[in-house]
């Protein structure tokens, strides 16, 4: 686990064997292409995690050596 990201979310996870319960063909569904395109534009946790982690680091003052800000800790909540 690097930087708190589980191995299954690192983008390099592949199935050892392909599951048999996932069909190769599907019935003709209305607006299937539109739904697939919408899913393709979805934000996944692996994309959001680093952003929220850096915001938390700044707010909690854990990035003093790397922050480009004034060097003070984040405002008290």
Domain regions of the chain by residue span: 44-70
- How does pLDDT run across 42-76, given as a tens digit for each residue? 777 778 888 898 888 888 888 877 776 655 555 55
Q: Report which of 35, 42, 48, 55 is spatially closest to residue 9, judged by C-alpha positions.
A: 48
Sign of CA dihedral 44, 45, 47, 51: positive
Q: What is the pLDDT of residue 65?
A: 75
For the chain, the maximum distance between any two Cα atoms, rounded to a whole number of angstroms, is 58
- As a whole number of angstroms, the distance between CA 24 and CA 39 comes to 18
User: How confident is the model over 4-28, as a mean pLDDT?
Assistant: 64
Q: What is the pLDDT of residue 9?
A: 63
pTM, entire model: 0.34
């Amino acid at each position: 686990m690097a930087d708190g990201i589980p191995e299954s979310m690192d983008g390099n996870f592949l199935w050892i064997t392909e599951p048999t319960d996932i069909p190769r063909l599907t019935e003709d569904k209305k607006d299937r292409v539109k739904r697939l395109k919408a899913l393709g534009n979805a934000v996944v946790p692996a994309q959001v995690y680093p952003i929220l982690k850096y915001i938390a680091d700044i707010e909690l003052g854990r990035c003093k050596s790397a922050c480009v800000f004034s060097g003070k800790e984040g405002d008290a909540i």
